[in-house]
Structure 1
Amino acid sequence: MAGSKTLILCLLVASAFIYLGSWRNPIDVKELVLWAGRFFLVLAVLTLIISLVIPWIPSSPVSRSNSSRTVPEDEMDQHQKLVRKEQQEQLSEKASSYIEKVMKPREELKLKKQEKRFYQMTGQSWKLTDGQKLGEVEDSVNNCSNVDTGVETANNEALRKRRLPEHATKHLPKAEQPQPKKVITLPEEPQELEEGVVTVALRCPSGRVYRRRFYKSCNSLVLLDWMMKLGYHTAIYTLCTSFPRCHLAIKNDSTLEIIGIVNDTVLNVEEKDLS
């Protein structure tokens, strides 16, 4: 930076000399070239002198201040790190002390309140007392029985509360085993040309019609099984004849021939009138 400033200063001085020389006596090209050669010669000499002298010149106060600042910056960084570490340790100590002194007692108190409320609601408040040694309760009960003062003591009250209610001491009846579901099995469908065979058609509420062949000697309950197998429960639906419309009298000991199904018949699946 100092060399560039010196070079600029030399250029300004040389240009000033050339201007003064040309102002007094106009010069031609030869003189101008001569002046230029002298100028570059002087410039070279000055550059050589400056390059030899500058290393022996002591550094400026600004550079000293810059060099002196480098060391404190490192020290300042180390100091800041130490300060941050101390602050973090202080904060962690405060947090741990707050947890030990405030949070944990608060949680313990909350748990105790919940436990107390639970025992009070379940009738086991005797668990909240400190208790007594074996034999002390019986002695106190005997003393109370000998001396009837009419006042219930704390031990008698705890003893009364420890007695379980009757519904807790009774043996519960065994739960009934769920009955296995009934598996509906229909008899095999006979051939159409066999004797004693009728075709029964069920017209469902959905509009679909299902047909199946049965022997006239089949139990009439097979119609209800067929209806349930199609998805219509006997508790909600029933079977009715088409014309005249009437409920089909199905019994356990009757066959299809007995209830009147001797020819091909169409039955309607209708919903029961629960009212």
Structure 2
Amino acid sequence: MASRGVVIFLLAAIPILCLELRRGIPHLGIRDLILLCGQIFLLLAVLTLIISVTTSWLKSFKRSQVCLKGEEEEENEKRRKLVRKQQQEIQSEKTNLVLENASLASFETSNREAAKRRKLPNSGTRVTAPVECPPQKKVLDLPEEPPETADEVVTVALRCPSGRFLRRRFFKSCQSQVLLDWMMKIGYHTSLYALSTSFPRRPLDMKGSWTLEDIGITVDTVLNVEEKEQSN
């Protein structure tokens, strides 16, 4: 700031000094020097005022643009979280409805089979027809967590989109599907979320019969729970 003021002072003084020198140096007296200095300081004050006003206006304009941009990004993030929450609620309602329908179908089938058995006549040889069970919704039942001192055990940590970390121990021989079951059990449905490795960052490749050891989880590992890209 000080060097800028000196430069402005010199730039303002040069034109006035040139004009006075053209009039003649011998004619410069004390009064003329005082007037000359007053003109220079007046011009310097005007230039400083113009620069300060312009600078403050530019800063306030940039600050307002940054605030508007930050508010817009925050609003978009809130809207995206709300849509994601609504999608999760819809998936949970669908899952509950399927479970209720499966339970109702199982109850009705049991009642029909009991009624048929009561109506069958007694005979010497009774042939029991095989009972077909209705398809049941898979129940997410995670294996019991092994102790820390057990052999062939790895600790897997999930980094959730909310920022929290969840840790659990598994045997290396467990099927890789147990990771997806664990993710669904904590509230992240596989239709909306997927698992990926941290370093390097890539989707976790899992097959039905592969174990944790088969997919490369042989030491303590951190996995990311990431949103799937929604198709239009």
Q: Same fold (TM over 0.5)?
A: no
- TM, length-normalised to structure 1: 0.35
Q: Which has the higher contact order (CA 8 A, sep 6+)?
A: 2
**TM-score, normalising length from structure 2?**
0.41
